[in-house]
Amino acid sequence: QQPVQSPQAVILREGEDAVINCSSSKALYSVHWYRQKHGEAPVFLMILLKGGEQKGHDKISASFNEKKQQSSLYLTASQLSYSGTYFCGTESSGGSNYKLTFGKGTLLTVNP
Amino acid sequence: NAGVTQTPKFQVLKTGQSMTLQCAQDMNHEYMSWYRQDPGMGLRLIHYSVGAGITDQGEVPNGYNVSRSTTEDFPLRLLSAAPSQTSVYFCASSYRTIGDEQFFGPGTRLTVL
C-alpha cells in the first residue's frame, strides 16, 4: 500500500520554507526521500531508519515519528534548484522487508 | 563506475509484441528492482531481486517477467505488450536489501500502440 504524501503540490518564492509530509498505515523500518526533476531519474536525498539513524544530504533535514508511521521533509531557505517532485518511499517492519513502496509525489515549484 | 545503466532509452511496440528492457549495475549491489512511473501514480514496484537467482513480485507484476542470473544484470521482459504498459520504466539498485540508498538508472520510455 502506497504511503500518502501531502501536500500534492506547493509553490514557493525563493527563500521560503516548505514541509512535505509522508504517512503510512504500516509499521515502518525506514523512510526514504528522493527528488526527481522533469525527465530525469529520482535522486536520493535521505534515509531515516527506525531507531533514529539518518543518512543523506547535509542540507536537507527530515524527521521520522516511528509511533505514528509519519515522516516530514523540511526544505528551508528554498532555492530555484529545489524545484522538482519529491517522493517518499517506505520499507515496512516485519514480514517481507525488501519492498520499497513510494508515494505519489509532491510537486514543488520555486519561483524567483 | 557507470552506475546503473538501462537500454533502450526509448521504445515503441505494437500490441502483442514482446521485448526485454535491460538493466545493469557495476557497483556489486545485492538488491535490484524495477519500477514503472505513470503520471500522478508515483513509482510502482514491478519486481525485485535480493541477489542472483532470487526474485519476487512487487505491487504491479502482471504482464512482466524477470530473472537474475548474475549480480550485475536484471532484465525485465514484457511477454505480450499491451497499451496499459505504456510508461516510463526505472531500474534501481542498492548495496543492501533494506535501509540503503537506491541508485536509479536513467529510465526507458516505452510506448505500446
Integer Cα distance of B24 and A68 in angstroms: 37
At A80 the three-state DSSP class reads helix
pLDDT tens figures, A39-65: 999 999 999 988 888 888 767 899 999
Mean confidence (pLDDT) of chain A: 91
Q: Is A41 part of the contact surface with chain B (CB cutoff 8 Å)?
A: yes
Q: CB of A82 within 8 A of CB of A20? A: no
Please report the pLDDT score of residue A83 as a whole number: 97
A61, B38, B41, B76, B91 from B80: Cα distances, Å = 44, 19, 23, 13, 20
Please report the pLDDT score of residue B33 as a whole number: 96
Of A47, A56, A104, the CB nearest to B42: A104
A102 vs B contacts (CB less than 8 Å): 35, 42-45
Q: Which residue of A lies nearest to B108 if distances are taken between CA atoms? A: A41
Please report the pLDDT score of residue B93 as a whole number: 96
Integer Cα distance of A60 and A63 in angstroms: 10
Of A2, A47, A101, the CB nearest to B99: A47
| pLDDT over 80 at A98, yes or no | no
Q: CB of A19 within 8 A of CB of A12? A: no
Integer Cα distance of B38 and B44 in angstroms: 9
| pLDDT over 70 at A94, yes or no | no
- Report phi then psi at B10, rounded to 5: -135, 145
Answer yes or no: do A98 and B102 touch at CB < 8 A: no
CB pairs under 8 A between A and B: 63
B68-87 residues touching A, CB cutoff 8 A = none
Q: Is B50 part of the contact surface with chain A (CB cutoff 8 Å)?
A: yes
Between A40-49, A92-101, B8-17, the lowest mean confidence (pLDDT) is in: A92-101
Mean confidence (pLDDT) of chain B: 95
